[in-house]
Amino acid sequence: MEILNPSDIQSQYGLKTLEKLQQAGSKGTSLKLGFPKECNPDEKRICVTPGGASVLVANGHEVLVERGAGSQAHFPDQEYADAGATLCDSPDQLYRQAEIITKVAPPSPAERKLMQKGQIVISALHLGHVKPDFFADFIAKNATGIGFEFIQSTDGGYPIVRMMHEITGSMAVQIAARYLETNQNGPGLILGGISGVPPATVTILGAGIIAEYAARTAMGYGAQVFVLDTDLGALRRLENALDRRIITAVANQQYLGAAIKSADVVIGAALTEGHKAPCWVTDPMVASMRAGSVIVDTVIDQGGCVSTSRPTTHSDPVYTEHEVIHYCVPNMPSNVARTATYALNNVLVPYLIDIGDAGGFDAVLWSSPDLRNGTYIYRNMLTKKSLSGQFDIPYREIDMIMASRM
């Protein structure tokens, strides 16, 4: 029997798009799909790999990629060209030609000016930082907005969010371990301890996907792990998933205060999908922590769950408040851009194929609950009640908009 090298297995199976090649049927339509280079220098991801581009081209679609869009994820322009994509020299050229723009970060003000009438934009929304003028720009252009945070499958899961949260949870502990080191002005601790020296204590706020992967990684290091959440059912599920190797508690003031005070690392992961993150940790709680302790607020892109958190960048990721090191980078998976790009590609490419096979975006809304759930602006109307309440903008349910146009 042939013995395969692990790197060959990864190359052959782990890093390839697994979509089935299929030419669009008679009901399908050819789409012009644009993948721009992110204008934020800290955002290194792109939503499609060269392999994903070849799948889209094979399904009859025109793929437009801005030059340099994949370079920081180590996907050179030539690989996209070899896959059949057209390389655009500027974002203006790409936005003028594409029907659907698929990107990672929310469109910046400059990018929103480039949007064309009736264009469809699929991206993250970052609810903690978006302003009312963002939605006004979409409505003025009669553009359709689909948000990563809202794309929800029929099983109740959020496929894109889950992928990024798995990466974020794993990275959070890895980052915290680095900032506990002496040369990072930390207290000089190792997460797992050694014989005769107890491990560090990691307190995780929330019991969702970020928390699960953070807990798995922290336990892999050998740390003592506490997890707090307001949802007792979520704590039970996490205990079962991790074989009760963690300590859990309900996130009330008493338990929160004690857990924060005793922590060497706090991972902020409290989040309800589609809503701004709840703020659980107060200034006095942070002030009670030991000097040199580390807070990694992984939900800062949704507003953060620690009162002392404020957004930082990959180029300047930390600051100190109350002698506690804070790491609050909104787009953490960008620092593992290649892995994150594969993850985004594997979720988004099938959705784009579905749009073409259905005959366009209006048609796919009837057959794809995922994309219907993901749409937050459609036909000049905000379609999410949660956004309406947050930004005081009138809304209308997307089902009602669709029904009214039958």
In the chain, domain spans? 23-147+336-404, 164-330
Q: Indicate the CATH number for domain 23-147+336-404.
A: 3.40.50.720
**What confidence score (pLDDT) does residue 274 get?**
65
Q: What span, in angstroms and rounded, lies between the C-alpha atoms of 351 and 355?
A: 6
Residue 12 has pLDDT above 90, yes or no: no
Q: Which helix (H) or strand (E) holds 125?
A: none
**What confidence score (pLDDT) does residue 331 get?**
87
Residue 361 has pLDDT above 80, yes or no: yes
* Banded model confidence at residue 14, pLDDT cuts 50, 70, 90: very low
Which tokens in the block code for residue 234? 């979520």
Residue 255 has pLDDT above 80, yes or no: yes
- CATH class held by domain 164-330: alpha beta
Q: Which residues contact 248 (CB under 8 A, 6 or more apart)?
A: 207, 226, 227, 228, 229, 235, 238, 239
Q: What span, in angstroms and rounded, lies between the C-alpha atoms of 350 and 59?
A: 11
What is the residue whose two structure tokens read 């459609």? Answer: 378
Which residues are designated catalytic? 126, 301
Question: Which of 17-26, 38-47, 233-242, 362-371 has the least mean pLDDT?
Answer: 17-26
* Banded model confidence at residue 272, pLDDT cuts 50, 70, 90: confident
- Identify the residue with better confidence: 130 or 318: 318
**CA 208 to mean position of chain CA atoms:** 14
Mean pLDDT, residues 5-14 taken together: 46
**What confidence score (pLDDT) does residue 249 get?**
96
Find the distance separating the first CA and the last CA of the chain, reported in whole Å: 60
pLDDT tens, 187-211? 999 999 899 999 999 999 999 999 9
* Banded model confidence at residue 25, pLDDT cuts 50, 70, 90: very low
**Does the fold of domain 164-330 match that of domain 23-147+336-404?**
yes
pLDDT tens, 215-233? 999 999 999 999 999 999 9
Whether 150 and 369 have beta carbons less than 8 Å apart is answered as: no
Question: Which of 65-74, 92-101, 267-276, 318-327 has the least mean pLDDT?
Answer: 267-276
Q: What span, in angstroms and rounded, lies between the C-alpha atoms of 165 and 181?
A: 25
Residue 135 has pLDDT above 60, yes or no: yes
Residue 24 has pLDDT above 50, yes or no: no
pLDDT tens, 32-80? 999 999 998 899 999 999 999 999 999 999 999 999 999 999 999 999 9
pLDDT tens, 386-402? 899 889 999 999 999 99
Beta pairing, strands 86-88 & 100-102: unpaired
Mean pLDDT, residues 221-246 taken together: 95
Look at residues 344, 353, 350 and name the one whose alpha carbon lies nearest to residue 48: 344
Residue 279 has pLDDT above 60, yes or no: yes
Q: What span, in angstroms and rounded, lies between the C-alpha atoms of 142 and 120?
A: 9
How many Cβ atoms sit within 10 Å of the Cβ of residue 360?
15
Q: What span, in angstroms and rounded, lies between the C-alpha atoms of 271 and 169?
A: 13
What is the residue whose two structure tokens read 């990721």? Answer: 317
**What confidence score (pLDDT) does residue 335 get?**
94
